[in-house]
Structure 1
Amino acid sequence: MKRRDFLQYTSLGLGAAFASNIPVFGNIVSPEQFLEPVDTRLKKQIADMVLTAAKSRGASYADVRIGRYMRQYIITREKNVESITNSESYGIGIRVLANGSWGFAATDKMDNESILKATTIAVDMAKVNAKLLSEPVKLALQKGYGEVSWKTPIEKNAFEIPIKDKVDLLLTANGIAMANGATYINNAMYLINEQKYFASTDGSYIDQDVHRIWPTFTVTKTDTKTGKFETRNSLSSPMGMGYEYLIPREQDKMKGLVTVYNKRYDMLEDVKAATLQVDEKLKAKPVEPGKYDLVLDPTNLFLTIHESVGHPTELDRVLGYEANYAGTSFLTLDKWESKKFKFGSKLVNFKADKTDPGTLGAVGYDDEGVKTKEWDIIKDGILVSYQTTRDQAHIIGLNESQGCSYAESWNSVQFQRMPNVSLEPGKSPLKPADMIKNIEKGLYMLGRNSYSIDQQRYNFQFSSQLCYEIINGKITGMVKGAAYQANTQEFWNSCTAICDKSDYRLGGSFFDGKGQPSQVSAVSHGCSTTRFNGVSVINTGRKI
């Protein structure tokens, strides 16, 4: 956008909803418009105007987020391009603290009069809210950083790659699937660029350029004789990277039952393997329910980490702030205060980290202007911390925020969102093949699939895209219908081995929902292949 266009930009529309549960908003624009930056000096002028106005109207603190959010979604099926959408949303969000209470207002009308009106509304809202307070907001101190910037360390800007090249890749993958006997294949590529400018009365002026990418597909094959069908989804992970994610390097390959990559992904190899594995799934025998030792690949385990570790350690959920929508947490404050709650075995160590390059949660600063960091959540199996924002830090005795604030858009209020939460790899050399050869009766599970978990993130079951039976240290063939059932504490206490860092890989959620009104965020979870002993497995496909 040109500077003049930026000032006069006033419309906010709703893009076509072309995929189930995928958030789409903004104006439909040409791909070329994505590459025209907004003048940082202009954003600072606007921010200073807002901060000065907010203080003059009685705010003790104020922050400004000027956001430009761009999305490119490409959807294909077999030989057809179903949809190509380029959308942009642009505006300003203003949050203030007055009389000990929060107020917020936003506008996409970027003229001075509209921006100052929104500032007034935010301050007035805070003063009205203050009359209902039982106690004032306690905001952790935060030093100002002056003028700083941060960018996702990409090698190839995915928005600069011609759409034709992206479509060709997706259709080539579809062609491979159909040539190998697939009945259907759906394929998609999701690209997001968040250009975020944050300023506050603390003295920070932070300009960030955040990129994310997610290529994915579903291959389906139908048995014409029986009418039964099976599917296999992509084993890709959404990443905080550029288009280089789709250009795999030979040295990144991890040899195994499927071809996966460490921060690289070969869609054509994965779709070829998927089509063959769907044939295996059609012929596979049903799993026999019972107790098994599980070997969980990172492509499967990341989702269990997300649901059973990431969500229950969100402090707002622990405090009951999410109870109406997403539930509470079994990891109540008394368990943390005891300093001895045995969340898992001594092998289990979880770190929160918003600095790891390539992850979905990696940024330089959160949406409260807090410089990001890493910290322990579970240490040697013991619950030691949670995830906090500036107004939560004092609750668990912290002097500063852990940098967990995020808003989906400029017109959304920032609140506590999950950082990358990852299981640390084992310290001793161990490969998946070595882990498998020591198992008498087990299952090797790969890929995320259906799951369920209760409102406190305690009782759950998870299934997989691929499941292989292990008997006396050898993989004997594929089984289907397997889902492991446990509660979070017994599951992580059954962890008996974790492969070393050479097997460490990332999974992630590209559209993780939370809050009312609902917002989505993106977060990664890393781990190595991990063993769990004596876990209950059910057959989800068996008829009663």
Structure 2
Amino acid sequence: MKRRDFVGLTGLAAGALLLPGFLSFGAQPVDAARLLEPGLEPAAKKRLADAALNAAKAAGASYADVRIGRYLNQSIFTREKQVQNIASGESYGAGVRVLANGTWGFAATNNVTEASLAKAAQQAVAIAKANSRVQKEKVVLAPQQGYGEVSWKTPIQQNAFEVPVKDKVDLLLAANARALDNGASFVNSTLFQINEQKYFASTDGSYIDQDIHRIWPTFGVTAIDRASGKFRTRDALSAPMGLGYEYLSPKAADKIAGPAGTGLIGYRNSYDMLEDAALAAKQVKEKLTAKSVVPGKYDLVLDPNHLGLTIHESVGHPLELDRVLGYEANYAGTSFATLEWKAKNLPYGSKLVNIVADKLQPGSLGAVGYDDEGVKTKRWDLIKEGTLVDYQKTRDQAHILNQKESDGCSYADSWSNVQFQRMPNVSLQPGTAKLSVDEMIKGVDKGIYIAGRGSYSIDQQRYNFQFGGQVFYAIEKGQITDMVEDVAYQANTQEFWNSCAAICDASDYRLFGSFFDGKGQPSQVSAVSHGSATTRFNGVNVINTARKIG
């Protein structure tokens, strides 16, 4: 799935079952009750893993790791008053990765027995030895201590799979009803739920059992002017999260009021789907009569649910070291932020811009205890006071930067796929001085407030880009005035982040998320969050996206 597809899922109900990566490779449709059956005990997994590790070493591997994975998912799709589909899936198998003669080899099997894993290990070694004949440089792994037998679990309060399907359907249909009652012409809603039960073992001496949960409620609302045929849409302002079903039990403490005059609500660790659906319906009706934006230079005030996508594309991807080095090129390009570019100490952004990578952040999609190479996760600086200071790395990349350890950025979306470098959570740090959204807007003479992620485009070096949104409000002389339409802004990455002029404080900080972020060939998907507070960018070029036909 292409990255841009995820931001345009207004037609989820029609095509959701085509989403690769959600129903993992080899996934079998199962009854919902199957999702609650326990997997293997850690002791049984250890015996299986040892069979693979011992076979790999006996065949000549200098290093080996094995991942035994059980991937569970459920998706519920509705439209207006109907349920369109309910799908539950399970994928179970093991992948073995080895180093032999300084070269990687990989093999996988869905027959999870000691004999089958041992055979997969032997196949992986044979592949590595064959590959070594054409390998120009030997793989160099950063040192990694073994952790023994450890475990980690997403700290959820309620497993979404334990909630009866009827209750989840009722919630989605209730959200649809709220949208229809408030003037929507059409509405669809979806609930995605994922549980990754992953066991990692390596010849370094780690045996790591992890239980990872993610959830994403979303919808698309449409209003039509029957006389003119004009229509407008608005997607949910939810964020996919690394939480359980408690995310759908809204709490007043998790709500953050948007700018005065917009009616918008920001959500932190819980989400009110009914409230958002009702507001979305009112806003799509308002969008039908909103004035079209006048192109020009504006100060932009960007809501976290919008800015997260811009962070994802203009910071998260260009700082993946494999893109920087040109190893990743065919799928969405490389990066302008090369090692040579970094050596020039060119400003990535203004002094206010501090961006961190963080695999520990509670509630985030990327939060895990250990990555898929058995590296304990951490937090580190990527951009500090506007200067690029580091990249995202795996074990076999660290030595390229003369560093001694991995950043814990290895991930595979299935037991059947080899793990490789994937983006951690990448977030803009909030401002240190107390500043609310309304106070920020008071300092804007001519601007636009943008909420929600919309269409976008970015070039193959992650440099020149264009972003839209869901809703737009004009700012005149320090106040929100009217809703406007047909807004997109254009900039390049360096120009945009250097125009960052103000960031609200931590009380406004929220997460955005990408549930289906695509990368690699063969393609894999991962889930990642991006946090920020509302942020102002001065003097950004805004275009009018309206198109006239005929």
* TM over 0.5, shorter chain: yes
Equivalent residue for 2:37? 36
Indicate the residue corresponding to 1:348 in structure 2.
Answer: 353
Amino acid at match of 1:517: P
Deviates more, 1:248-257 or 1:38-47: 248-257
Secondary structure of 1:115's partner? Answer: helix
Determine helix, strand or coil for the equivalent of 1:135: coil
Measured in 1, the distance between the counterparts of 2:436 and 2:228 equals 40
Give the equivalent residue in structure 2 for 1:445. 450
The one of 425, 433, 437 aligned to 1:432: 437
Residue of structure 1 aligned with 2:265, choices 259, 265, 270: 259
C-alpha displacement at 1:29, in angstroms? Answer: 1.2
Matched, 1:46 2:48: yes
1:375 correspondence with 2:380:
yes
Q: Distance in 1 between matches of 2:459 and 2:340?
A: 20
> 1:253·1:259 contact (CA, 8 Å) conserved in 2?
yes
2:523 alignment partner in structure 1: 518
After TM superposition, the structure 1 stretch with the greater mean CA deviation from structure 2, 40-49 or 319-328, is 319-328
Cα deviation, residue 542, structure 1 = 4.4
Measure the CA separation in 2 of the matches of 1:260 and 1:444.
14
Aligned partner of residue 326 in structure 1, secondary structure: coil
CA contact (8 A) 2:52 2:120 kept: no
State the partner residue of 1:87.
89
- Deviation for aligned residue 1:220: 0.4
Please state whether the residue corresponding to 1:435 is helix, strand or coil. helix
Contact 1:498 1:530 in 2 (8 A): yes
Shift in Å at residue 337 of structure 1? 2.9
Q: What's 1:120 paired with?
A: 122
Structure 1 residue identity aligned to 2:48: I
Q: 1:31 to 1:138 in 2, by over 3 A?
A: same
Maintained 8 Å contact 1:260/1:266: no
Distance in 1, matches of 2:384 and 2:284, equals: 40
Following TM superposition, by how much is the alpha carbon of 1:22 offset from its aligned partner in structure 2, in angstroms? 4.9
Aligned residue for 2:280, secondary structure, equals helix
Residue 128 of structure 2 aligns to a residue whose secondary structure is helix
The SS at the match of 1:369 is: coil
The letter for the 2-side match of 1:440 is: D
Counterpart position of 2:299: 293
Which residue does the alignment assign to 2:248?
A: 246
Distance (Å, rounded) in 2 between the aligned partners of 1:143 and 1:114: 28
User: In structure 1, what is the Cα distance between the partners aligned to 2:228 and 2:418?
Assistant: 52
CA distance in 2, matches of 1:301, 1:477: 21
User: 1 CA distance for matches of 2:18 and 2:187?
Assistant: 16
* DSSP 3-state at the match of 2:204: coil
Aligned residues: 528
Alignment partners' CA distance in 2, 1:86 and 1:204: 32
Aligned to 1:321: 327
- 2:148 is matched with which residue? 146
Q: Does 1:482 align with 2:487?
A: yes
| Residue in structure 2 matching 1:63, options 43, 49, 65 | 65
User: Bigger CA drift: 16-25 or 286-295?
Assistant: 16-25
Alpha-carbon distance in 2 for matches of 1:407, 1:127: 23
Cα offsets for 1:266-293 (capped at 9, x unmatched): 0000000000000110010100000000
Give the partner amino acid of 1:30.
D
Partner of 1:13: none
Aligned-residue sequence identity (percent) comes to 65
Amino acid at match of 1:498: I
Question: Which residue, out of 169, 172, 184, partners 1:170?
Answer: 172
TM-score, normalization by structure 1 = 0.96
Opposite residue 421 of structure 2, the aligned amino acid is Q
Q: CA separation in 2, counterparts of 1:290 and 1:227?
A: 29
Q: Flag the 1:385–1:453 CA change in 2: closer, same or farther, 3 A.
A: same
After superposition, the Cα gap between the structure-2 partners of 1:17 and 1:207, relative to the gap in structure 1 and judged at 3 Å, is: farther
Of 74, 77, 86, the match for 1:75: 77
2:366 corresponds in structure 1 to 361
Structure 2: runs of 5 or more not aligned: 1-13
TM alignment of 1:91-110, pairs within 5 A = 91-110=93-112
Amino acid at match of 1:231: T
CA distance in structure 2 between the partners assigned to 1:420 and 1:79 by the alignment: 36
Which SS does the other structure have where 1:92 is aligned? strand
- Residue 221 of structure 2 aligns to a residue whose secondary structure is strand
CA deviations on 1:342-387 (whole Å, 9 max, x unpaired) are 0000000000000011000000000000000000000000000000
